[in-house]
Chains A and B, each alone.
Chain A
Amino acid sequence: MSNTISEHDTDVLADDTTSAAIDIDREKGNFHYKEDYAYDAGIGLSPEVIDYVTKVKGEPEWVREFRHKALKIFESKPLPTHWATRDLETINFDEIRYYLAKGQKPSRTWEEVPDDVKETFERLGIPEQERRFLAGVEAQFDSESAYSRMKEELTKQGVIFVNPTEGLKEHADVFRKYFGKVIPAGDNKFAALNSAVFSGGSFIYVPKGVKVAQPLQAYFRINAENFGQFERTLIIADEGAEVTYMEGCTAPKFETATLHSAVVELVALKGAKIQYITVQNWSNNVFNLVTKRGVAEEGAEIRWIDCNIGSRLTMKYPGVVLKGQHSRGEVISIALASDGQHQDTGAKMIHAASNTTSNIVSKSISVGQGRATYRGQVTIPKAFSHCKNNTECDALLINTNSRTDTYPAITVRGANNSTQHEASVSKVSAEQIFYMQQRGLSEGEAMSLAVNGFINDLVKEFPMEYSVELKRLIELEMEGSVG
C-alpha cells in the first residue's frame, strides 16, 4: 500500500500560496478613485502651465521667476543618457499632467479629509500609524497635501511642519534663505523640472536645541493616470536640533507611465542631526527620478536611509555635502530590482572640510531580469585632511539572468585622508536553497529567508514598524519570484 506525495500536488500548493501572497502585497496600493479635480493644468509643459500653477497657489513673484528660470534650464538640458539608461527616452513630457488638485486646503483633522482621499489613506494604514508612533503626518494626494497634522507640543516648541506653499508664504524668511540652495535648479535636468513645477512635499524647521523624539512622516500618493508628481521637501534643523523624517509612497498600476520627480534638500546646522528614511514602493509603471542632498555644518550629522522596492526606473543618489569640520554623512541603501525594474541608486559624499567622515553601505538584490545599479561618488579634495570615507556595496543575484552593475567614483587627494571600498557580488546557491528546503521551507520561503539574511544588518536601521513591513514586502516579492 503506498500513497504518493506527487510533485503535482506540491506544485499546486506552492502556486496558491505564492499568488495569495502577491495579492496582498502589490495590490495594497493598486486602487484608485474617480478623478474629479477642481484644478487641472492640462496636458504638457509650457510657461502657461507654470503661470497657472503659480496663480492657483497664490505664490509671490520671486517663486514665479524661479519656476520660469527652471523651465528654461529643463528645456536646455539633454536627458543624461550618456551615462544613464535610454529608458528615460520613453518618457513623453508632452503627455504628462503637471498639476492636479481638488482645491483643498490640507485638513488638520482626519474627519475633514474628503471621503475618497480618507479612504485611500485608511486603506494604506496612515491614521493607525499616526496614532501609534508618529509625531506628525502629511499625506499628499496627487499635487497637494490632503492632510497635515503635528502633535501640539511640537507646535509649542516652534517646530514647523507644513507644505512648501504654506512654508514660502508663512515662513518666508527661513524658507527663502535655504530653498534651492542645496540643490539649485541647474543641478540636473530633473531637479530643473521639479523646480519649474514643484507642488506639495514638506517644509520642516526644527528650532535650536529641539529634539523631535518621534518621526515625522509624509505619505505620497499618486491617484491619476499620466500624472507627474513633483513634491519638494526642505528640512532645516537649527543648531543642536534633531529630527527623523520618513516618507512612503504608492501608486496604482496604470497602463501608461507615471512620473515622480522630487527634490529634497536638508540643512543640518551646527551640531544638528537629520535622519531621512524612505521606503519607496511605487507601482512598476512609475519613473522615480529624485534628487536628494543635504548640507552638514560643523559637527552635524545627516543620514539617508533609503529603501527602493517599487518603480519601473529609480534614479536616486542621496548625497551629503560635509561642509563643517567633524560633520558626518551616511547613506544606507537597500534596493530590490524585480522583473521589469531598474533600481539605479547610490550615494554622493562631498567632503568640503577637514575631519569629516562619510559612510556608504549599499545592498542590492536583483531578481529575474531585474537590474540593480550602484553609482557612488566620493570626493575628498587635497585642501582637507583627516577625512575618512568607507564604502561597502554588496549585490545579490537571484537568477542567472539577473543583472547588477557597480560604478564607484572615488577621488581622494591629500596626504592624511583615507578611504576604504569593499564590493561583493554573490548568488543564492542551489545548495543553500536545498539545505533550507530539507528543513521544510518551501523554495520561496527559503529564497526570502536568504534575501532577508543578506540585508538583515541594514533592515535594523529602519524603525521597528518599517522593518517589519520591509521584511514582509521582501518575503512577498521573493515568493512571487520562484516559479
Chain B
Amino acid sequence: MSNTLDIRNLNVSVAERQILKNFSLTVPKGEVHALMGPNGTGKSTLAKALSGHEDYAVISGEALLDGENIIGAEPDAIARAGLFMAFQYPSEIPGVTIANFIRAALVARQPKGAPFDAKAYYARLYEKMDALKMDRKFTSRSVNEGFSGGEKKRCEILQMMMLEPKYAIMDETDSGLDIDALRIVADGVNKMRGPDIGILVITHYQRLLDYIVPDKVHVMYDGKIVRSGDKDLALELEKKGYDWVKEEVAIA
C-alpha cells in the first residue's frame, strides 16, 4: 500500500471522449517501469490526469500515492505530495530564471514563513548541474525560454533532482532529443534511481531503454495495459512493431 504509486481502474475522458479505460498499474519505490505503446493510446493522458490537469476528467478510479488518493486534488497539492512529471513540452516562463523558479518550488514545500537557506540551495543546485554537465550560466536564463529541445529536457531533469519527488513520470522525455542529449537525460535518471523513488518512463521508442534499463515494461493500447513483462518485452516490441500488439488485442 504505502511505498507504491498504485493506480486502480482509472477511467479518464478528455473533451467528453474516454481515453483511459479501467487503467491499472502499480509502481513501487525502488523500481523503474517503462510504459510503451503506439501514439494516441493514452500514455500522456495518464501523466496529465495523475498530475491533476483540469482538462482531464477522471470519471472513476483512484491513484494512491503511498496510500493517499491524489485524484481530485489540485495540481500543486499533488506535486507537493511527491509526484513529479517531466513534461513532453515544458512551458516557457519569460523573465523567471531557473534558479528563482526552483527556489520558489522549494519554498512552496516549506512551512509558510520558514527561513530558506540560500547558500545550501546554491551549493546543491551547482552540484546537480555539474552532474548533468550544465553550464553555471544556465541558472540565470529564463525557464525554457529559447531553449533547444535537449536543454529543455535537461532542465526538467535538473528540477526533478532538486525537488526529490517520491514518484516521477517522464512523459516522452526522449522525444526530440539527439543521441548525446538522450544519454545525458538517461544518465540523470539513472543517478536518481534508488530505493526512495519510483519512476515511470513513458516512451514510444525502445532506444531510451538502451540507456535506462527498466525493471518492468508495460505495453499500453486503447486506454489500458495489454501486456507486461521484463526488459525483453521492449526488445520484442522493437522487433515486431506495435501492429503485433494491435493484432493480439484484436484476437483476444
Contact = CB atoms under 8 A, between A and B. Distances in A.
A439 B105 contact: yes
B139 interface: no
Contacts of A445: 76, 104, 108
Contacts of B17: none
Contacts of B92: 432
B81 A5 contact: yes
A59 interface: no
B73 A6 contact: yes
A3 interface: yes
Interface string B82-102: 001101001111111000111
A4 B69 contact: yes
B95 A2 contact: no
Given A5-B77, A431-B91, A439 B96 contact: no
Interface string A90-104: 000000000000000
Interface in A2-36: 2-7, 10-11, 14, 17
Given A2-B67, A3-B69, A453-B96, A438 B75 contact: yes
Interface in A271-328: none
Q: How large is the interface on A (under 10, 10 to 19, 20 to 34, 35 or more residues)?
A: 35 or more
A439 B76 CA distance: 7
A454 to B, nearest CB: 6
B74 A10 contact: yes
A228 B108 CA distance: 43
A435 B69 contact: no
Interface in B48-71: 51-54, 62, 64, 67-70
B70 to A, nearest CB: 6
A11 B85 CA distance: 22
Q: Is the interface of A mostly helix, strand, loop or mixed?
A: helix
Most chain-A Cβ atoms within 10 A of its Cβ — which of B67, B76, B91, B163?
Answer: B76
Interface in A58-112: none
A50 interface: no
A129 interface: no
A443 interface: yes
Nearest to B55: A430
A443 B104 CA distance: 13
Contacts, number: 113
Contacts of B90: 435
Contact of A456 (B52, B72, B96): B96
B76 A437 contact: yes
B1 interface: yes
Contacts of A3: 67-69
B73 A449 contact: no
A457 interface: yes
A440 interface: yes
A361 to B, nearest CB: 13
Contacts of A10: 73-74, 76-77
B94 to A, nearest CB: 6
B95 A452 contact: yes
A441 B68 contact: no
A453 B94 contact: yes
Contacts of A452: 95-96
Interface of A: 1-7, 10-11, 14, 17, 429-432, 434-443, 445-446, 449-450, 452-457
23 contacts: A2-B68, A3-B68, A5-B68, A5-B69, A5-B72, A5-B77, A11-B74, A14-B74, A429-B91, A430-B54, A432-B92, A434-B51, A434-B53, A434-B75, A439-B101, A440-B105, A441-B105, A442-B74, A443-B76, A449-B101, A454-B95, A456-B96, A457-B95
